[in-house]
Amino acid sequence: MDLKSFIRDIPDFPKPGIIFKDVTPLLKNPEAFKGSIAELKKAASEWNFDIIVAPEARGFIFAAPLALEMNKGFVPIRKPGKLPYKTISKSYSLEYGNATLEMHIDAIEKGSRVLILDDVLATGGTIKAIAEMIEEAGGEVVGIITIIELSFLEPRKKLDKYRVEALIKY
């Protein structure tokens, strides 16, 4: 299935000059959505991991069904103030600003092997912040997988110590 045909470009979102890669048409189509989960599972099945970690909001949409499909746990990464228990946090730069993410302090057990999943890999800032939180908690990042990679932004430079896979590259 050509998943790329289900990705819509939104010019000037969230600010002028950015072309946002919108996955909602893919999610709207049951066969494309199932196909994306199947492709993620195929890629992820090569790695030995215990848990899938994903940031809100679109990362959740793909990570939760993949975790169920692969019989793995799922850990949500959220914006500040959204998690009810004690958290660790990390601030980072985005393509169009700055942000902070949080994770429960007990979400990753020491020695856990972790797969990070998100919908889009742009500059690598979000994923790098997540990887640093996982490592600070004592986990090991075994790989990063995304639906889309914006290769022209060179995100792998920030993530050069990790294995990175993307289903679609621009």
Continuous segment of H or E residues that includes residue 98: strand 97-104
Which is catalytic among the residues 95, 132, 140, 156? 95
| Set 39, 58, 132, 156: catalytic member | 58
> What count of Cα atoms within 13 Å lies in the side-chain half-sphere of residue 125?
15
> What b/e readout covers 9-39, taking b as 16+ CB neighbours within 10 angstroms?
eeeeeeeeeeebbbbeebbebeebbebbbeb
Active site residue 58: yes
Is position 156 annotated as part of the catalytic site?
no
Residues with catalytic function: 58, 95
